[in-house]
């Protein structure tokens, strides 16, 4: 029952994010007709996303509203350390992001340019390298009579973003935005027990022998370079 409460909370996060997207699809067709088809899409690269190779695609849905879908390959994860900065660890994973943006500038009707704001939803899965906890319990030939399996982590995030996107040439765009919200993490490692709460970044909501659920704030700064078409 304890874990069920957090499963329901996760589902609510997804539903709250999808409601604005549903509203967008229901917009009047006359409003959709005001989209500029010559420049209503942008393909972007996010070069400053640490530990990820991140690409995204944005398309206008109405005169002022767009949807963006992003996909990234994750190769670095982070754990607690004794210093101010967290320890980086090799991982393999994917990060999916979906957002809806409302553009406020009347000078750029029908194109994804100018200042914007809106919700941002993300899901990330990471498989950490073996020995990520740097503990003798993680090796099968230890003398402690205990074995800790490989660490896996699932994460859901819900943020609200604010920023601007502008042309810097005929087709090139640049975007700067910031977002603030929260992340819900589910970490799993067989027999990890206290190693999860000692190493995973965030406040532990539930901690068991093989898994734990954490929550943490997720301030973000995003810079992207895109191609408008």
Between 151 and 110, where is the model more confident?
151
Question: What mean pLDDT value characterizes the chain?
Answer: 85
88 pLDDT above the threshold of 60: yes
Closest CA to 54 of 227, 225, 229, 184: 225
Model confidence over 152-209: pLDDT tens digits? 999 999 999 999 999 998 899 999 999 999 999 999 999 899 999 999 999 999 999 9
Residue 126's pLDDT band, with cuts at 50, 70 and 90, is very high
C-alpha separations of 64 from 57, 102, 104, 169 in Å: 17, 6, 7, 22
Q: How far apart are CA 63 and CA 199, in angstroms?
A: 46
138 pLDDT above the threshold of 60: yes
Residue 136's pLDDT band, with cuts at 50, 70 and 90, is low
Model confidence over 53-79: pLDDT tens digits? 999 999 999 889 999 999 999 999 999
Predicted local confidence at residue 69, as pLDDT: 97
Residue range 75-102: average pLDDT? 92
Residue 85's pLDDT band, with cuts at 50, 70 and 90, is confident
Q: How far apart are CA 118 and CA 8, in angstroms?
A: 24
Token pair for residue 185? Answer: 């993490």
Q: Is 33 exposed, middle or buried (0-12, 13-18, 19+ CB in 10 A)?
A: exposed
Highest mean pLDDT among 10-14, 29-33, 57-61: 57-61
Predicted local confidence at residue 174, as pLDDT: 97
Predicted local confidence at residue 137, as pLDDT: 67
101 pLDDT above the threshold of 80: yes
131 pLDDT above the threshold of 70: yes
The fraction of the chain above a pLDDT of 70, given in percent, is 80
Q: How far apart are CA 130 and CA 137, in angstroms?
A: 12
Closest CA to 139 of 147, 129, 151: 147
**Region for 68 from its dihedrals, namely left if φ exceeds 0, alpha if ψ lies in -120 to 50, beta otherwise:** beta
Predicted local confidence at residue 78, as pLDDT: 93
Three-class HEC string of the chain: CHHHHHHHHHHHHHHHHHHHHHHHHCCCHHHHCCCCCCCCEEEEECCCCCCEEEEEEEEECCCCEEEEEEEEEEEEEEECCCCCCCEEEEEEEEEEEEEEEEECCHHHCCCCCEEEEEEEEEEEEEEECCCCCCCHHHCCCCCCCCCCCCCEEEEEEEEEEEEEEEECCCCEEEEEEEEEEEEEEEEECCCCCHHHHHHCCCEEEEECCCEEEEEEECCEEEEEEEEEC
Residue range 202-219: average pLDDT? 95
């Amino acid at each position: 029952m304890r874990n069920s409460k957090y499963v329901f909370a996760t589902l609510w996060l997804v539903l709250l994010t999808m409601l604005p997207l549903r509203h967008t699809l229901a917009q009047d067709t006359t409003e959709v007709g005001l989209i500029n088809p010559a420049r209503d899409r942008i393909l972007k690269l996010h070069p400053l996303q640490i530990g990820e190779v991140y690409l995204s695609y944005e398309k206008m849905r109405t005169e002022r509203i767009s949807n963006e879908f992003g996909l990234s390959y994750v190769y670095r994860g982070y754990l607690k350390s004794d210093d101010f900065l967290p320890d980086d660890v090799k991982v393999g994973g994917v990060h999916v992001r979906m957002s809806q943006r409302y553009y406020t500038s009347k000078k750029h009707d029908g194109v994804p340019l100018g200042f914007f704001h809106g919700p941002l939803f993300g899901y990330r899965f990471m498989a950490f390298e073996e020995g990520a906890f740097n503990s003798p319990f993680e090796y099968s030939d230890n003398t402690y009579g205990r074995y800790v399996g490989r660490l896996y982590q699932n994460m859901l995030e819900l943020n609200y973003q604010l920023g601007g996107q502008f042309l810097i040439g005929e087709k090139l765009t640049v975007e700067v935005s910031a977002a603030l919200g929260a992340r819900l993490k589910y970490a799993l490692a067989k027999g990890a027990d206290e190693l999860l709460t000692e190493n995973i970044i965030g406040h532990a909501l539930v901690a068991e022998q093989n898994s734990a659920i954490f929550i943490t704030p997720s301030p973000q700064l995003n810079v992207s370079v895109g191609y408008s078409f």
